[in-house]
Amino acid sequence: MLLIRVKVMRRLNKQTCSADALQRNAVPGLPGEGVVKAPKGQDEFTIDFRSTPPIRALVFKDRLALGGIALVRGSSRPIEGLRVRSSQVTVAIHEGKMLPDSDRLRSSEIARDHAHVGDARLPFWVRSQAPASFFAVAMDEAFVKEIWETEFGQVGDFELKTAIGVRDLVINRIGLLGRKELSEGGIGGRLYAGGFGTALAVHLLRQYSTSPRTRVIHKKGGLALRPRQRVIDYINEHLQDELSLFELARIANLSPHHFATLFKASTGISPHRYVIERRIDRARDLLRQDEKTISEIAYAVGFSSQSHLTANFRRTMGVTPRKFRQSLD
C-alpha cells in the first residue's frame, strides 16, 4: 500500500538536496529498491525535467525537450519525507494503479489520470511508501509568464496553487497529445508542442492561478487579411527555421492562444498543420529536382531529421519520400 503525504511549502530558502546525495542515502538493495532518505540536514530536492539525471528517487524512461516545454515519462521510488520542487511549472499525470493519498488534514485516493499541478517556485512536502509512474508536461517559467502577460494582459509574476490528485478533463486531453508526441519522438516539432503547451498554460492560469487577473477580451472571427498574409509570407520565407507559436503570434500582434484560434478559423487548420503542409509541398518540389539527398531535403525544409520528414511525408502523402521519388522515374 502506498501512503503519500503532501504539504505545500511557502519558504524557499532551504538548502537544496542534490541528486547524488539522494542516491547515496537510498536504502541498500537491488537496483530500484528501497526507500529514499534525504541526507542529514537536507530535506529539499529540486527536479529539472530537462536535465536531472536518473536516480533511485526518480527515473526518466523517456524525455523530450521542445522549446520551452519538456515531455517526460518516468517513475518515482518510495520517499521518506522531503520537500520536492521543480525548476518548471509542471503537470504530472498518474499512470499507475489507484493510490491512497493523505496529508495531516484530509485523505483521498489518486487514480489513473489524476493530475498534480506544481508552481516552479513552491515546493511541496512528500512521503510515499510505494513506487508510482507518471507522465509530465514541464513548462519553463518564462514560457508561462509570457502567456500570463499576453493572454491575460498582466504585468509581473503569476502564482499557481499546488493541486494534488485532481480530476481535470482538459489536462487529460492535452496529456494525450503530449504522450503521443513523446512516443513519436517529437515529429510535430517545437510549433506543435508550443500549441498544446500554450493551451495547457492558459488553462492552468484560468483554473489554478491565485493571482488577481482580468481576461483580455478578444474579437471573434478569423484572422484579418493583412496580418494573415504577413504570417504566411513569414512562414514561406522561414520554412527551414525552427518556427514557434510565439514567433508567429508576434507577427500578427496577438497572444499565442488567440492567434492559434483565429488562424484556424481563417484557414481551417492549425498553424502547426499549415507549416507541415508547406514543408511537405517544398519537399515534393525538391524531390522532383533530384539534386539533394532525402536527408539534405529534410533539413532544407525545416525538419529536424530525415526520419521526421519521412513520418510527416507518409502521413500526408501516403508514401515515403523515397518511394515518391522513385515513382517519378
Do 185 and 278 lie in one domain? The reply is no
CATH of the domain at 74: 2.60.120.10
Do 190 and 235 lie in one domain? The reply is no
Tell me the whole-structure pTM to 2 decimals.
0.80
Do 74 and 193 lie in one domain? The reply is yes
DSSP state of 219: -
Do 167 and 188 lie in one domain? The reply is yes
- How far CA 6 is from CA of 69, 79, 104, 163, 204, in Å, comes to 26, 12, 8, 10, 20
Instruction: Confirm whether 255 is domain-assigned.
Output: yes
With beta carbons less than 8 A apart as the criterion, state whether 123 and 43 touch.
no
The pLDDT, as a whole number, for residue 105 is 40
- What average pLDDT does the segment 267-280 reach? 96
Instruction: Confirm whether 211 is domain-assigned.
Output: no
With beta carbons less than 8 A apart as the criterion, state whether 125 and 9 touch.
yes
With beta carbons less than 8 A apart as the criterion, state whether 145 and 204 touch.
no
User: How many independent structural domains does the chain possess?
Assistant: 3
- What average pLDDT does the segment 41-54 reach? 73
| Cell digits of residue 319 | 508514401
Residues 211 and 180: their CA atoms lie apart, in Å, by: 32
The pLDDT, as a whole number, for residue 152 is 86
- How far CA 249 is from CA of 99, 244, 261, 308, in Å, comes to 42, 9, 11, 25
Instruction: Confirm whether 13 is domain-assigned.
Output: yes
User: Which structural domain range is residue 151 located in?
Assistant: 4-206
b/e per residue 106-123 (b: at least 16 CB within 10 A): eeeebeebbbbbbbbbbb
The pLDDT, as a whole number, for residue 218 is 60
Do 31 and 158 lie in one domain? The reply is yes
Do 24 and 135 lie in one domain? The reply is yes
DSSP state of 70: E
Question: Of 250, 268, 286, which marks where a domain is finished?
Answer: 268
Do 70 and 96 lie in one domain? The reply is yes
Do 35 and 121 lie in one domain? The reply is yes
With beta carbons less than 8 A apart as the criterion, state whether 204 and 175 touch.
no
The pLDDT, as a whole number, for residue 33 is 46
Do 182 and 286 lie in one domain? The reply is no
Backbone phi, then psi, for 108, in 5-degree steps?
-160, 180
Task: State the Rg of the chain over Cα.
Answer: 22
Instruction: Confirm whether 212 is domain-assigned.
Output: no
Do 182 and 262 lie in one domain? The reply is no
Q: What is the pLDDT of residues 91-146, one digit of tens each?
A: 999 987 665 554 444 445 678 889 999 887 777 776 666 778 899 999 999 999 99
Backbone phi, then psi, for 284, in 5-degree steps?
-60, -40
pLDDT at residue 83 above 60?
Answer: yes
Mean pLDDT of the chain: 82
Q: Kindly indicate the confidence band of residue 36, based on its pLDDT and cuts at 50, 70 and 90.
A: very low
CATH of the domain at 286: 1.10.10.60
Percentage of residues of the chain with pLDDT beyond 70: 77
The pLDDT, as a whole number, for residue 45 is 73
Do 194 and 227 lie in one domain? The reply is no
pLDDT at residue 9 above 90?
Answer: no
Residue 77 or residue 320, greater confidence: 320
Residues 14 and 17: their CA atoms lie apart, in Å, by: 9
Q: What is the pLDDT of residues 145-199, one digit of tens each?
A: 999 998 888 877 888 988 888 999 999 999 999 999 999 999 999 999 999 999 9
Residue 19 or residue 294, greater confidence: 294
Residue 216 or residue 251, greater confidence: 251
